Chains A and B, each alone.
Chain A
Amino acid sequence: MKSRDKKLLIGGVIIALIIAVLAPFLASSNPDGLESTAEKVMPNPETEPAIESPLPDYTIPGFGKEGEVLALVVGTIVVLIIAYGISAALKAGK
C-alpha cells in the first residue's frame, strides 16, 4: 500500500475512533425525529426487536459508559474491516 493511502487510513480511523469514544458522552439522548414522531402519534411506540442483538443500543449490558465506548470502538473497527474487505473483493479491474 502506498504511504499516502496508509496515512489516509490511519488518519481517517483516528478521526472515526475519536468520534466513537466521545459519542457516549456528547451524544444527545433525546429521541430522534422518527422516535419523537412515534411518541406523539402512536398509542404504544415501544416495540420489541425481532432478534436479540448482542450489543443493544450500542451498549454492553452491565458495563455503563465504558461498555458504550467499547461497543462503538469495536463497531467502528468492524465496519472498517468489512467495508475494506467488500470493496477490495468487488473492485474494478480484477
Chain B
Amino acid sequence: MHIPDGFIPISQCIIYWIIALVALYFSVRWASAKLEERQIPLFAVLAAGIFAIQAMNVPILWGTSGHMVGAALIAIIFASPWAAVLLLSIVLILQGLIFGDGGITALGANILNMGIIGGFVGYYLFKGTKSIGEIPAVFIAAWASIFLAAIACAIEMWIAGTFPLDKGLAMMGLYHAVIGIIEGVLTVVIVLAVQSARPDLFSFKDWGKEKAEVLSK
C-alpha cells in the first residue's frame, strides 16, 4: 500500500510529513532509552528481511497482490510501537529514495499508515489479546495492523479527493482483509522462529519486561 506521488495534494502531504517527523522523534527517544546493544543485530537483520519480503508480492484474489509489511512483527518483538516506527521509517525512506516504491511527497503518509498505525495497532492488539493465547494474539494483531492501515489509507485518499469514500473503503478493506491473512501467518512464523533461535532477545514469557527484571529471576 505504498502511496505514490500525485495521489495526495502537497498541502496534505505536509501534514503527514509533520506527523511522521514527530513520531520519528519519539522513536529516536525510544531507541536512546530502551534499545539495548544486544538487540542491535536482531533490529538490523529484521530491517533487511522486511525490506526483502516487501518485494515478495503474493497473488490474492481479484487479480491483486499484496506483501507483508512487518510493523506488527517489530512492535511485538521489541515490545514497543516506536521500534516499528523507527524500523519501518528506515525501510520506507530507502524504498522511496532509491527504488521509487512509494512517493517522496507521500513518504509521511506511508510512514503514518505502515509504520505508526501498523506499529501501534500491532502492539496494543497483541498486548490486549495475549491472554487468549499468544499465537492467536500475534495473528490478530498482525492482521488488524494491515487492515486498519489500509482503512486509514482509504480515508486519506478520500480526503485527498483521489478515491471516493465508499468504493475506496470497500476495496481497500476487502483486499487488505485478505493480505492481512498473509501478514498474520508470516508474523506468527517469524515470531516463533525468533523465540526459538534467541529466547534471550524475545520470548512470550518475558514479553514487555525490562532486562533487569528478566535477569533477576
Contacts and interface: CB of A to CB of B under 8 A. Distances in A.
Contacts of A75: 51-52, 94, 98-99
A18 B93 CA distance: 23
B47 interface: yes
A92 B6 contact: no
A49 interface: yes
Interface residues of B, number: 71
Contacts of B67: 27, 32
B52 A8 contact: no
A80 B42 CA distance: 10
B14 interface: no
Given A78-B94, A87-B40, A47 B164 contact: no
Interface in B41-65: 41-49, 51-53, 55-59, 62-65
A27 B1 CA distance: 16
B175 A92 contact: no
Nearest to A26: B56
Contacts of B59: 28, 30
B48 A77 contact: yes
Contacts of A47: 4-7, 103
Nearest to A9: B41
Interface string A39-69: 0111000011111011111100000000000
Interface of B: 1-7, 28, 31-49, 51-53, 55-59, 62-67, 86-87, 90-91, 94, 96-101, 103-105, 150, 153-154, 157, 162-164, 167-168, 171-172, 175-176, 179, 197-198
Interface of A: 1, 4-6, 8-9, 11-13, 15-17, 19-20, 22-24, 26-34, 36-38, 40-42, 47-51, 53-58, 71-72, 75-84, 86-88, 90-94
